[in-house]
Amino acid sequence: MSTITFEDVGRSFDSVAALKNVNLHVRDKEFVVIVGPSGCGKTTCLRMAAGLDFPSSGVVRVGNREVVAPGPDRAVVFQQFALFPWKSVYDNVDFGLRNKGVPTAERADRIAAVLKVMSLEGYERSFPHQLSGGMQQRVAIARAYVLDPAVLLMDEPFGALDAQTRVLMQEELVRLARVNPRTVLFITHGVEEAVYLADRVAVMTSRPGCIKEIIDVRSIREAERWNSLPRIEDVMDLESFVHLRTTIWKSLREEKTEEQH
C-alpha cells in the first residue's frame, strides 16, 4: 500500500510562511494532480514527499512511514529533466538499478523493456545533449519507471516541452497509468493537463499555500467513458471535460499569482 499523506503540513522559508495547513491524502495507485498559482508552494509539497525538503510543522508520510530522506521507492521526474549529461541514455536509466543492487542480467532486461515502452530503442548509446527535449523527458520518465517505484512524483514534467510533444507525452502517460497504475503526485499549472491526467485535482491557494478544494475527475471520466477516446483533443471537446476545466479554472482565477503581489 503506497499512499502519500500530508498532515497539517506547514513550511516557512526565513520565517515567511510558504505553506500552511496542507492536508492531502493520495490513495494507493491514485493519480493526483496539484494545480495552483505560481509561487504557491506546490513544488515544495512534491519535494517534501521526495525527501528533498522537510516540513516546518506537521508531517508527510509515504506508505504510513514519515519521509526522512530521498529514496528510490519514490521516483522523481524533475521539471528540468536532470539527466546526467556525462552518461549515455542507457547509463542514465541504469543508475538507479545499480544503486538498488539489481543483478546485471535483470538490469539489461528491464532497461530494454522500459526503453521500448518509451520508444527510445536505438538511442541507448546517445547522450542527452544529442536528443530533443521530448526525448530527454522520455529518458527522464524511463529512468523513474525502470525502478518500478511504488510512488511517482512529477514536477511539471512537460513544462519545458513544445505543445505538440507535450500532448504526445500526456497521452503516453495516460496509457502507462492504465497499463501499470502507480501512486502519482503530479504538479502543473496547466488546468487542461490536470483534468486530462488526474483521478483527482487538488487546487491550491496563493501563498501561503494550502489545499483549497479537491475535485474528483475519475468518477466523471468513467461515467463519460473518456478512456474510449484515444486522442486528447477528442476528450477535451467533451462537455463533461469542458465543465470540469471551467470549474477548476474559476477556482484558480480567484487566487492571486505571485506576479500580482
Partner 1 sequence: MRARPAAGPSNVEILVLGVAGLAVFFGLWAALSGFGLVPPRFLPSPAAVAQRMFFLLDHPFASATLPLHVLSSLGRYALGFLLAAAIGVPLGLFMGWYGLLDDIVSPVFNALRFIAPIAWVPFAALWFGTGIGGPIMVIFTGAFPPCLINAYRGARFVDVKFLEAAQTLGASNLRIILEVLLPASIPSIVSGLRVGAGLGWQSLVGAELIVAASGVGYMMVQGQSAVSTPTVLSGMIAIGMVGYCVDLVLREVEALTRRRRGVV
Residue numbers at the binding site for partner 1 (CB under 8 A): 50-52, 69-72, 74-76, 78, 80, 82-87, 95-96, 98-100, 127, 129-130, 143, 147
Burial of 15 (0-12, 13-18, 19+ CB in 10 A): exposed
- CA–CA separation, 150 vs 109, rounded Å? 20
Query: What is the closest distance, in whole angstroms, from the C-beta atom of residue 72 to partner 1 in the complex?
Result: 4
Query: What is the closest distance, in whole angstroms, from the C-beta atom of residue 8 to partner 1 in the complex?
Result: 25
Give the CA radius of gyration of the chain: 18
Based on CB atoms, which residue is closest to partner 1, 146 or 197? 146
Query: What is the closest distance, in whole angstroms, from the C-beta atom of residue 155 to partner 1 in the complex?
Result: 11
Based on CB atoms, which residue is closest to partner 1, 74 or 207? 74
* Helix (H), strand (E) at residue 120: none
Query: What is the closest distance, in whole angstroms, from the C-beta atom of residue 46 to partner 1 in the complex?
Result: 11
Query: What is the closest distance, in whole angstroms, from the C-beta atom of residue 246 to partner 1 in the complex?
Result: 35
Smallest Cα–Cα separation from 128: which of 169, 87, 173? Answer: 87
Based on CB atoms, which residue is closest to partner 1, 30 or 94? 94
Instruction: State the DSSP string of 212-232.
Output: EEEEE-HHHHHHHTGGG--SH
Q: How far is CA 187 from CA 40, 77, 107, 229, in A?
A: 12, 10, 30, 24
Based on CB atoms, which residue is closest to partner 1, 49 or 215? 49
- CA–CA separation, 135 vs 153, rounded Å? 19
Bridge partners (DSSP) listed for residue 152: 75, 184
Based on CB atoms, which residue is closest to partner 1, 143 or 207? 143
